Amino acid sequence: MNEQDVRKQDREKILGGVRSAVRKDPGHLASVEDLAKYWKSRPSAPRPPVGDDLVETFSSRIQEFASTVVRLDSLEAVPRYIAEYAGTGEDENITLVTGEDPRLENLPWDTAPEIRREVRKAERTDNIGLSQAFCAVAESGSIVLLSGKADPTSNDFLVDRHIILLAEDDIVPYHEDAWKRIREAGSSMPRAVNFISGPSSTGDVDLTLQVGVHGPRTLHVVIVPSNPS
């Protein structure tokens, strides 16, 4: 038997095992409850210390990736702050792109009449976008964004300047905590889960760091005391 025949035989063994598995009676397959028990029974992997102040740890880590962070005293201050922040850029016409997120809808936008908020998917020509973070990970300084009507994925990657609203109680210590939250959030997983730690950057061009090549040139996180209702 030559090498090609051996490979063919091994391939048939593998495919035969797959065929046998999928032909089993559904009663022999693990249920969702069984899988949940299995994961809960597994010991946790070693995790690095993150300290008691998750807000401070997260803020420190994400700023290492060229992101900027500000903490506000109240949700009511968000629209006015965004107007002042956006007005410092080159574009004085403040068009703010957001998704269909009721948490953003409930903010007092009348305190910032110069902002024209457009609820839609972002396009490449859009300057500023605002998203509400699902949660954030202190361990790595990462924002977690879930795709959907509340935050279309294009809003996270096509705007030039991305602002993310993050509630303090949505900062979790580790990635495992973030995935647990995602699994418990609804009956099905979103089509995309994005972990973002900073503005788009690459060093592929002449080994020189380029910012804004594949997405936003700036990432600005606005941390507020409590989760919007």
Q: Model confidence over 127-155: pLDDT tens digits? A: 999 999 999 999 999 999 999 999 999 99
Task: Say if residue 36 is in the same domain as residue 132.
Answer: no
φ/ψ of residue 143, rounded to 5? -90, 140
Task: Say if residue 66 is in the same domain as residue 9.
Answer: no
Asked whether the whole model's pTM tops 0.85, one would answer no
Task: Say if residue 219 is in the same domain as residue 166.
Answer: yes
CA distance 77 to 194: 27
CA distance 5 to 12: 11
Percent over 90 (pLDDT), the chain = 57
Q: Please state the separation of Cα 194 from the chain's center in Å.
A: 4
Residue 46 is assigned to a structural domain of this protein: no
Task: Say if residue 130 is in the same domain as residue 157.
Answer: yes
Tell me the CATH number at 219. 3.40.50.10420
Task: Say if residue 141 is in the same domain as residue 188.
Answer: yes
φ/ψ of residue 219, rounded to 5? -130, 120
Q: Model confidence over 171-214: pLDDT tens digits? A: 999 999 999 999 888 778 889 999 999 887 766 666 666 665 66
Residue 49 is assigned to a structural domain of this protein: no
Residue 229 is assigned to a structural domain of this protein: no
Task: Say if residue 97 is in the same domain as residue 183.
Answer: yes
- Number of neighbouring beta carbons within 10 Å of residue 55: 17
Task: Say if residue 33 is in the same domain as residue 60.
Answer: no
Residue 48 is assigned to a structural domain of this protein: no
Strands 94-98 and 128-132: parallel
Task: Say if residue 23 is in the same domain as residue 128.
Answer: no
Q: Which residues are 137's β-sheet partners?
A: 142, 172
Q: Domain range holding 79?
A: 54-224
Task: Say if residue 118 is in the same domain as residue 218.
Answer: yes
Nearest to 162 by CA among 200, 209, 194, 135: 200
Number of domains in the chain: 2
Q: Model confidence over 27-83: pLDDT tens digits? A: 555 666 777 777 778 787 888 899 999 999 999 999 999 899 999 999 999 999 999
Residue 47 is assigned to a structural domain of this protein: no
Task: Say if residue 102 is in the same domain as residue 169.
Answer: yes
Residue 114 is assigned to a structural domain of this protein: yes
Task: Say if residue 179 is in the same domain as residue 73.
Answer: yes
Task: Say if residue 65 is in the same domain as residue 90.
Answer: yes
Residue 84 is assigned to a structural domain of this protein: yes
Burial of 155 (0-12, 13-18, 19+ CB in 10 A): buried
Residue 63 is assigned to a structural domain of this protein: yes
**Residue 82 host element (H or E):** helix 78-86
Query: Can you give the length of the chain in residues?
Result: 229
